[in-house]
Amino acid sequence: MATPNIIERANRRAATRKASTPVATAARYDRKADRVILSLDTNLEIMFSPKNAQGLEHAKPSQLELIEISPSGYGIHFPKLDADLYLPALLEGFLGSRKWMAARLGAQGGKSRTTAKTSAARANGTLGGRPRKSAAR
């Protein structure tokens, strides 16, 4: 059970965060630009492509039309997708969990085409491809 001291400390932490972190005041989806746009209490707007956010990457425009903001202003909820985003993480550039972000970065790296990578692949192909793994003895 929470003691008054624990509750007081939690309230102080919340007040400190509220004073130092912007909160969302409005959210909408711009179908023409294919961007989610968040208005902040600092009179700034941030926008991002839903394709770059975990839980929204395969969303249809009709699923992005309804956006709810949590009472704290830190949570962004897409009811038609049952997807949530955390505003402080968005402001730090994280559009998903660390594992999800790492997988996306790894996929991009695998698609890269450099002259060194291309020539190494060609040289490897002329040698018969990747060597077979030797059987464990």
Sign, CA torsion 8/12/17/18: positive
Residue 94 placed within a domain: yes
Q: Based on the number of CB atoms within 10 Å of its own CB, is 15 exposed (0-12), middle (13-18) or buried (19 or more)?
A: exposed
Q: Write the CATH number for 30.
A: 3.30.2020.40
Check whether 137 has a pLDDT greater than 70. Answer: no
Q: Which tens digits make up the pLDDT trace of 15-43?
A: 887 777 889 999 999 999 999 999 999 99
pTM: 0.62
Q: Which tens digits make up the pLDDT trace of 56-89?
A: 999 999 999 999 999 989 999 999 999 999 888 8
CA distance 43 to 85: 20
Residue 28: what pLDDT? 97
CB 29 within 8 A of CB 12: no
Section 8-15 average pLDDT:
88
Section 102-115 average pLDDT:
63
Beta bridge partners of 28: 37
Residue 134 placed within a domain: no
Residue 76 placed within a domain: yes
**CB count in 10 Å sphere of residue 24:** 21
